[in-house]
Homo-oligomer: A and B are copies of this chain.
Amino acid sequence: MDSSITSKTVGVVAPQRAKFSEPVRLKCGAVIDQYELVYETYGRLNADRSNAVLVCHALNAAHHVAGRYADDPGDVGWWDNMIGPGKPVDTDRFFVIGMNNLGGCHGSTGPQSINPRTGKPWGADFPLVTVEDWVATQARLADHLGIKRFAAVMGGSLGAMQALQWTVSYPDRVGHALVIACTPNLSAQNIAFNEVARQAIITDPDFHGGHYYEHGTRPTRGLRVARMVGHITYLSDDVMADKFGRQLKHGRLQYTFEPEFEIESYLGYQGTKFSDYFDANTYLRITKVLDYFDPGFEHGGDLAKALAPARAAYLVISFATDWRFSSERSREIVRALLHNRREVTYADIDAPHGHDAFLLDDARYHGLVAAYFDRIHAETTA
């Protein structure tokens, strides 16, 4: 991520916590009796509560979207380059909410939380969640905050799936959806990569069928491999070639299994860093959330039919070098929305960074989002 602290940051922020005691029935059939969601907000909710923007997170991010923490100034929000005063999502105009989804490992109720029915951590017993479940619980957070309708819901990748789902689940509660680096469903290849990641975790002897908390272990080896394989799919072949190519760490071959090429060091570093802080049970569930997302499935594969209830306007953005969720997949969404006579702005940005481009600071990309939010602002203040 290319988050830079500028003078235009939202500054010091602090997470908040909302408790929900009304049970939620998940798509898998399981019921969670009570749960908590951690969130952050930036900017001010206006008098008629019309300027709220929900930011949905992707695989490994959470509620800390912008700004920094007083006790850890280096921990900058994952979309700080996008959200702040004068930034594309201008917190001088909009009230922006980031939250950690149900099942997460950043403070919201998830596998590491205590299951009130047993008094022990949920662990492997935490149910499998879906994009629909996340959107339903996000709507409860909106209720909690007194927000009837979002000016916009936005996200990239898995976050974009949530933005899209919002417009179907709650057509009257969202004005605009920003659907960035998205796909209407995962391809066989996408699922295959996720399954490799899951198998790396599940077959790690320290996983103990997901009950590793009780064993005092963590399946860090598997989680590390899982992150490494994921990371490859976030970057374009070209950007990897430009950044690392065949550069050797020590100038010449060593003929060992220690990292010899820079790309090996980089991946290993990323994998280790991730496995040190992320919870494997959450990671497993989030990969399944991705696999399961398929709004067209219950409509015979007809995405336009699935999106028919939507009333929002859309900004859809894809990145030409994204081989994980290719531009063509975004265009499937665009076509389905146009078929339904929705208002759609679509751009394919030829940034070189692959899937990760949605997190980076590309002037064309940010300019487009800024212009789109200018329009939303004009509407909400009209």
Distance in angstroms from A221 CB to nearest chain B CB is 4
Interface pair A255/B188, CB less than 8 Å apart: no
Residue in contact with A261 in the complex, picked from B203, B204, B291, CB distance below 8 Å: B291
Interface pair A255/B225, CB less than 8 Å apart: no
Cα distance A127–B193 in the bound complex, in angstroms: 31
Cα distance A88–B338 in the bound complex, in angstroms: 51
Interface pair A232/B200, CB less than 8 Å apart: no
Asked if A237 is an interface residue, CB under 8 A from chain B, the answer is: yes
Distance in angstroms from A210 CB to nearest chain B CB is 8
Nearest residue, chain B, Cβ from A248: B297
Interface pair B187/A240, CB less than 8 Å apart: yes
Interface pair B189/A203, CB less than 8 Å apart: no
Interface pair B188/A268, CB less than 8 Å apart: no
Residues of B close to A255: CB separation below 8 A = 27-29, 127-128, 288
Distance in angstroms from A97 CB to nearest chain B CB is 28
- Near B by CB (< 8 A), chain A positions 255-271 give 255-257, 259-261, 263-264, 267-268, 271
- Which of the four size classes fits the interface of chain A? 35 or more
Interface pair B221/A188, CB less than 8 Å apart: no
Asked if A224 is an interface residue, CB under 8 A from chain B, the answer is: yes
Cα distance A254–B189 in the bound complex, in angstroms: 20
Asked if A185 is an interface residue, CB under 8 A from chain B, the answer is: yes
Residues of B close to A28: CB separation below 8 A = 253, 255
Cα distance A188–B354 in the bound complex, in angstroms: 14
Cα distance A221–B225 in the bound complex, in angstroms: 12
Cα distance A253–B29 in the bound complex, in angstroms: 12
Nearest residue, chain B, Cβ from A235: B189
- Near B by CB (< 8 A), chain A positions 266-313 give 267-268, 271, 284, 288, 291-292, 294, 297
Q: Which label, helix, strand, loop or mixed, suits the secondary structure of the A interface?
A: helix
Residue in contact with A199 in the complex, picked from B185, B189, B203, B268, CB distance below 8 Å: B268
Interface pair B246/A196, CB less than 8 Å apart: no
Residue in contact with A244 in the complex, picked from B188, B268, B284, B292, CB distance below 8 Å: B188
Interface pair B187/A237, CB less than 8 Å apart: yes
Interface string of A199-212 (1 = CB under 8 A from B): 11011110000000
Distance in angstroms from A2 CB to nearest chain B CB is 19
Interface pair A196/B232, CB less than 8 Å apart: yes
Asked if A191 is an interface residue, CB under 8 A from chain B, the answer is: yes
Interface pair B257/A188, CB less than 8 Å apart: no
Interface string of A120-147 (1 = CB under 8 A from B): 0000000110000000000000000000
Question: Which residue of A195, A221, A284, A297 has the most chain B CB atoms within 10 A of its CB atom?
Answer: A195
Cα distance A72–B241 in the bound complex, in angstroms: 45
Interface pair B228/A195, CB less than 8 Å apart: yes
Residue in contact with A256 in the complex, picked from B128, B195, B294, CB distance below 8 Å: B128
Interface pair A237/B199, CB less than 8 Å apart: no
Residues of B close to A224: CB separation below 8 A = 199, 203
Nearest residue, chain B, Cβ from A124: B257
Interface pair B221/A263, CB less than 8 Å apart: no
A202-B257, A267-B196 known; A245 vs B188 contact (CB < 8 Å): yes
3 smallest CB-CB distances across A and B, nearest first, come from: A28-B255, A188-B240, A203-B221
Q: A187-B245, A203-B224 are in contact. List 5 more A-B contacts (CB 8 A).
A: A188-B244, A193-B232, A196-B225, A199-B268, A203-B225
List 23 A–B pairs whose Cβ atoms lie within 8 Å, in order of A's numbering. Answer: A28-B253, A28-B255, A29-B255, A187-B237, A187-B246, A188-B237, A188-B243, A188-B244, A188-B263, A189-B235, A189-B240, A192-B267, A193-B232, A196-B229, A198-B257, A199-B268, A199-B271, A200-B200, A202-B257, A225-B225, A229-B229, A255-B288, A257-B288
